[in-house]
Structure 1
Amino acid sequence: MFEEASEVFDNMLKASFPFTFIVFIPAVLILVSPLPAEAAHEFAVYRMQQYDLQGQPYGTRNAILNTEARTVEAEVLSRRCVIMRLADFSYDKYQKALRQSAGAVVIILPKNMSAMPQDIVQFMELEPEMLATETIVPVYFAMEDDELLSIYTQTLTSSSSQGSLSAAEVLLHTATANGFQMVTSGAQSKAISDWAITSLEGRLAGVGGEDLPTIVVVAHYDSFGVAPWLSYGADSNGSGVSMLLELARLFSKLYTYKRTHAGYNLLFFVSGGGKFNYQGTKRWLEDNLDHTGTDKCNDSLYLLRGPTSCLPTQLQSVILTVFFCSSGSPQVVTSQYPEVKFSMVHKKINLADDMLAWEHERFGIRRLPAFTLSHLPSHRLAQRSSIMDVRPHVDVKKLSRNTKVVAEALARVIYNLTEKGAPGDLQIFTEQMVQEEQLSAVVDWLTAQPRAAQLVDKDSSVVSTLEYHLGRYLKDVKRHYVKADKRDPEFVFYDQLKQTMNAYRVKPAIFDLLLAVCIAAYLGMMYLAIQNFGVLYSVVRRITQPKAKTH
């Protein structure tokens, strides 16, 4: 190949020196010039939530991006892709991009989100505001890497310098600076039809007759955050599901032996759609209370005579007063764990609200006694619905301790120990019985994958694995499905939540114009030089000819 190329260049030199000068020299200059950095970078982006709930749209309504990158420091953001790091993010900057009709917003998240707590707290508080209203501007999140950070730095330098330069300097800078064209590979988002939310149910039957009171333990398994593909839900509600499975294991052992078989039915319900107004629990109650033709209406299961524990979070402050309403003394916490603070929060259910605060309110609407255990004093706190709710935020030792507290309190209820005046230091479960390793393993497994309701279908490994674990300890494990009504859907999900974005290194349009002018000038000069080669040759010869010596 190289021999053939050398022959071509040799023929060019022999045939026409002017032609060689015009074509060969620029080609050599281009080839030997230092190569620029990578001309394109491909990375994954995760789109902000897009869903409809009770007919109200939320999140971003667009998923297509093909525009030039800018940072929020630029004066003009219209039809530009605004990229910003989480460390520099603020709601005012975000609103500035929306007000100027930006083409898109890309927020770069750090690799280790738990390493910057102050920024995490600030962003967690802003997530609900970002989702409160819909926007046509596509909003994406991307994980930081070296190439993406380099793109951001170059774009920031370009955007920041334009405001302090003169008009001529801006023109020159615009013509010579590198830009980046951000392009997504996906199509426009569309509604997902016939999406099924899956819930799981398993039970331990009590002894002593058919008409037994039933205690239901509920925990929703899905997570929620501003971006579905980044919603890992470690504390809300990975820790709750982990505790529910451990409670199922502990009480399955008690219900195996006749001497410890209690006169209560225990039903464990892992609900889906918890973050979307508890759709799984809503449908389960409708099926068991409203459909008189079902078998469950012939027994007292739906009476739920006992506390319903939704267990949504880590339980650093445990609310256990309801367990001891008959005796009036929180014996377990006071005697065994005096360092644990507990309180009882009364909240009226506002039926006018589109969103319920806690899952137990679904039962309260049906006049069924229920309450929620949580370490959060208010349902409005952002920790319940954030992409920052990651694995390091769950303290497994505290989770293990709280699991034992709940198990002890529940056992005292089903064995009527509170009414018999049992001593507070009586322990039904020892600390060794609660398997901390299993709690940790379940939390690790749940937080290893996003569990947003839009991503967990009936064939998901999350559902099948939960069903397997429930089947190890419980009887009559079955699935319940929720599909939105086609005429008046309670919820609508959309696709294109994860896409591939390409950042192409480009020059602005003015650079093409400047380059065309330079090429035209170069060719014009070469044309004049060839046409007047004799004159040029004589001038060059006169200049280069040595002067004659004078005596």
Structure 2
Amino acid sequence: MLEEAFEAIRSGFPLVLLAVVPAMVLIISPIAVVDAAHEFTVYRMQQYDLQGNSYGCKSAAISAEARTIDSSSIARKCVLLRADEVAHGKYLEVLDRGPSSVVILLQSNMSKEEVQRFISFEAELLALESNIPVYFAYENEDLKDVYSRVSHSTKQESGSALQAVVDSATSVGYQLVTVSPQNKALPDQKLVNIQGVLHGLGVEDQLPAIVLVAHYDSFGVAPMLSTGANSGSTGAVAMLEIARILGKLYSNSRTHPRYNVLFLLSGGGKFNYQGSRKWIEDAADTTGSSSLSNTKLVLCMEALGSEDSKSLQMHVSKPPSSNSVAHSMYSYMEKVRLAVESHPDYEMSMVHKKIRLSSDSLSWEHERFSIRRLHAATLSSLAEHTDPARRSILDTKDQVSVDNLVRNIGIITDSLIRQLYNISHNDTFDLMTGDLSVQRDKVQSWLEFLSSQARPAQVMGEDHAVVTALATELSNHVRGVQKVAFKADKRDPEFMFYDGLSFQMSASIVRSAVFDLYVTVLVAGYITTIYFFVMKFNLFLSMVKKSLLCAQNA
């Protein structure tokens, strides 16, 4: 029996060593397959041309090993930055060290100070033209794991030379890759205006008109992360609520005022207000520029729900004369503001800022109309056009006060009604009662709908769900609602968009070249050992057999 057992071992054991042992090593290996790679969505930084100037990120493809900002060498690497550690000076320092790309991770639990610092950083980042890919991503559990491992590997890049060699063999790195073609210009990309009208009582062409304007799209450093809750949503929400209230007055013959009210939800808001420019050009080309003289006031609305604001500003390019409709509206708003007993500290002010024709972009939407010598103003809870929150991906619903928004809509609507009916400025009776009162639930519902999704101008086509919903709601209250799509003039385009707004990025585990060298040495040593063991296997087996026989005889 013992002879047969040794004969079986002699014929098969070398093969077991060569085949089974490596397989067992792989099975008990501590590296889990599920940890070898992660995949997540990343959002590319803005890229567009405006007035012949290029802005944002020109590149899209990434294929580089990940590093953190504390790494000793980030040249030709992809740098992972956390939003709470980003500042303008630190970002420029990173760029000076020659990375191939940057991925900025957004946390959901940033403090108020960190949010404000990042919003300010956004404004500065948008002013830079980047030749390397810059992406943004929400930090989930997978990304936290990737960042933690890369950060741990980075911290090991210190100490003695021997320690560095050992650490380089045992540390884990990640290769970040985006499968993204070269980004292309979109010369046929269209912007969409949504417009309608409430006709006054009388001969339409002879009646004075007030135009209400609000842009509905969003803007931020990463288009597909920009929800524009305050800057892009509240003006559109106010427009819909005002249209609902005025629609009731205009549909009743007993309360039909002698004013035309025009509504414009404009596209391309932060791209120099292209929608308003198109509307003005169409009004001049279609019916003659003389018809614009019937427009007594253009009221633009933006950022009406700032959480920390207890004021409402009327921004103008030129102080209105005492007999103008703009001055009358401001006086009405002052009276109505004083009647808001629940907010005794609420303030109303007029902010005068001249138009800078030498600038590439306008500061407020009303400036588009003021250039055409129309009386125009922007109503906003923001005191300055330079407020960076107007162009931030962190302009989210959390930054909006529904109470402030409802209050501002009420003041604007009340004042507008007084202007339409030429009510005495000394009368302070409450107009906003019953069906004419602002419906908070409706305002909140529309705010949540708009601010729950990214609405960059680059994707706001005629069939987009937001455009369709806004047009449908507006048509419930006003007449002649239509969607007007337009694109840039190909001969001399004022704006140009580019594709590639978001991609899937994979993060795969990689080891250093030193690790590969160690593996090569170990494999060579294993093969050498097995070779000599197999060559001397009979001698070894004879020795074992002799020992067992001696033990048996004893």
TM-score under structure 1 length normalisation: 0.90
2:17 to 21, 30, 34: 21
Does the aligned pair in 2 maintain the 1:181–1:506 contact within 8 Å?
yes
Q: Find 1:173's aligned residue among 132, 145, 167.
A: 167
SS in 1 for 2:415: helix
437-446 or 395-404, which moves further after superposition?
A: 395-404
The question of whether the paired residues in 2 share the 8 Å contact of 1:185 and 1:499 is answered with yes
**Structure 2 match to 1:455:** 459
How far the C-alpha of 1:258 sits from its partner, in A, is 2.0
Q: Which amino acid aligns with 2:37?
A: A
Superimposed CA distance per residue, residues 349-398 of structure 1 (whole angstroms, 9 cap, x where no aligned partner): 11000110000000110111001111111111111010001112221122
- SS of 1:372's equivalent? strand
| Equivalent-residue separation in structure 2 for 1:11 and 1:150 (angstroms) | 53
Residues 1:192 and 2:186 aligned together:
yes
- Is 1:518 the counterpart of 2:513? The answer is no
- The residue number in structure 2 matching 1:6 is none
Aligned letter for 1:306? L
Equivalent residue number for residue 129 of structure 1: 124
Aligned ranges 1:309-458 → 2 under 5 Å: 309-314=300-305, 316-319=310-313, 325-326=327-328, 330-337=334-341, 338-417=344-423, 420-423=424-427, 425-430=428-433, 433-458=437-462
Is contact 2:209–2:295 with CA below 8 Å preserved after alignment? yes
8 Å contact 2:237–2:443 — kept in the other structure? yes
For the Cα contact (< 8 Å) 2:206–2:294, is it kept in 1?
no
Structure 2 residue matching 1:75: 3-state secondary structure? coil
Query: 1:503 is matched with which residue?
Result: 507
Question: Matches of 1:532 and 1:43 in 2, distance apart?
Answer: 54
Q: Distance in 1 between matches of 2:414 and 2:290?
A: 27
Q: Following the alignment from structure 1 to structure 2, what is the Cα–Cα distance between the partners of residues 352 and 233? A: 27
Contact 1:213 1:300 in 2 (8 A): no
Moved more, 252-261 or 272-281: 252-261
Deviation, structure 1 residue 297 = 2.7
Superimposed CA distance per residue, residues 288-337 of structure 1 (whole angstroms, 9 cap, x where no aligned partner) = 12x2xx2x338735532124233343274123697673596722112335
Deviates more, 1:311-320 or 1:116-125: 311-320
**What is the deviation of 1:70?**
0.9
SS of corresponding position for 1:87 = helix
Give the letter for the 1:74 counterpart.
S
Alpha-carbon distance in structure 2 between the residues aligned to 1:90 and 1:320: 33
SS in 1 for 2:351: coil
Q: CA deviation at 1:252?
A: 0.8
Amino acid at match of 2:254: R
Shift in Å, 1:27: 2.1
Contact 1:57 1:133 in 2 (8 A): no
SS in 2 for 1:201: strand
How much does 1:158 deviate?
0.5
1:510–1:303 distance in 2 versus 1, CA, 3 Å: farther
Q: Where in structure 1 are there 5+ consecutive unaligned residues?
A: 1-9
Structure-2 separation of matches of 1:317 and 1:179: 52
Question: What's the counterpart of residue 262 of structure 2?
Answer: 267
* 2:488–2:495 Cα contact (<8 Å) kept: yes
**Match for residue 248 of structure 2 among 234, 246, 253:** 253
C-alpha distance in 1, partners of 2:20/2:298?
86
Structure 2 CA distance for partners of 1:60 and 1:12, relative to 1, 3 Å: farther
1:139-178 equivalences under 5 Å are 139-162=134-157, 164-178=158-172
Task: Report how far residue 487 of structure 1 moved.
Answer: 2.1
Question: Residue 5 of structure 1 aligns with which residue?
Answer: none
Structure 1 residue 202: deviation in Å?
A: 0.6
After superposition, give the CA deviation of every residue in 1:85-136 in whole Å (9 maximum; x if it has no partner): 22222223322332222121111112x35x5222111000010111112111
2: CA distance between counterparts of 1:49 and 1:302?
Answer: 38
Structure 1 residues 126 and 333: alpha-carbon distance in aligned structure 2, compared to 1, 3 A threshold: same
Aligned to 2:3: none
Q: Which moved more, 1:348-357 or 1:391-400?
A: 391-400
CA distance in 2, matches of 1:409, 1:339: 19
**Alignment-derived partner of residue 295 in structure 2:** 304
One of 174, 198, 203 as aligned partner of 1:204: 198
Q: Deviations over 1:442-466 (max 9, x none)?
A: 1011012101101211221111111
Q: Would the alpha carbon gap of residues 436 and 536 (structure 1) be closer, same or farther in structure 2, given more than 3 Å must change?
A: same
| Residue in 2 that maps onto 1:109 | 106
CA contact (8 A) 1:232 1:450 kept: yes
Measured in 1, the distance between the counterparts of 2:539 and 2:312 equals 98
The corresponding residue for 2:63 is 66
SS of 1:223's partner is coil
Give the 3 Å change call, closer, same or farther, for CA 196–350 of structure 1 in structure 2. same
How much identity, in percent, do the aligned residues show?
39
**In structure 2, what is the Cα distance between the partners aligned to 1:256 and 1:412?**
17
Q: 1:154 to 1:18 in 2, by over 3 A?
A: same
2:468 corresponding residue in structure 1 = 464
Secondary structure of the residue that 2:458 maps to in structure 1?
coil
Cα root mean square deviation, aligned? 2.5
Structure with the higher fraction of residues in strand conformation? 2
Cα distance in 1 for partners of 2:383, 2:73 equals 43
Write the distance in 2 (CA, Å) between the matches of 1:270 and 1:39.
48
- 1:107 and 1:320 mapped to 2: Cα distance? 37
Matched-pair contact (CA < 8 Å) for 1:13–1:20: no
Range moving further from structure 2, 204-213 or 436-445: 204-213
Taking the aligned partners of 1:403 and 1:197, their CA distance within structure 2 comes to 27
CA contact (8 A) 1:332 1:405 kept: yes
**Cα distance change of structure 1 residues 84 and 541 upon mapping to structure 2, 3 Å threshold:** farther
Quote the offset at 1:422 in angstroms. 3.7
Contact 1:284 1:480 in 2 (8 A): no
Q: What amino acid is the match of 1:308? A: L
Seen in structure 2, the aligned counterparts of structure 1 residues 167 and 201 have a Cα distance that, compared at 3 Å, is: same
Where in structure 2 are there 5+ consecutive unaligned residues?
A: 1-5
TM-score by length of 2: 0.90
Quote the Cα distance in structure 2 between the aligned partners of 1:486 and 1:298: 25
For the 8 Å contact 2:298–2:366, the answer to whether it is kept is no
- How far apart, CA to CA, are the structure 2 residues paired with 1:183 and 1:12? 51
Aligned partner of 1:58: which letter? Y
2:240 is aligned with what amino acid?
L
Task: Verify the 8 A CA contact 2:10 2:538 in the aligned structure 1.
Answer: no
Count of aligned residue pairs for this structure pair: 528
- SS state of the match for residue 55, structure 2? strand
Q: Distance in 1 between matches of 2:233 and 2:511?
A: 47
Q: 1:200 to 1:366 in 2, by over 3 A?
A: same
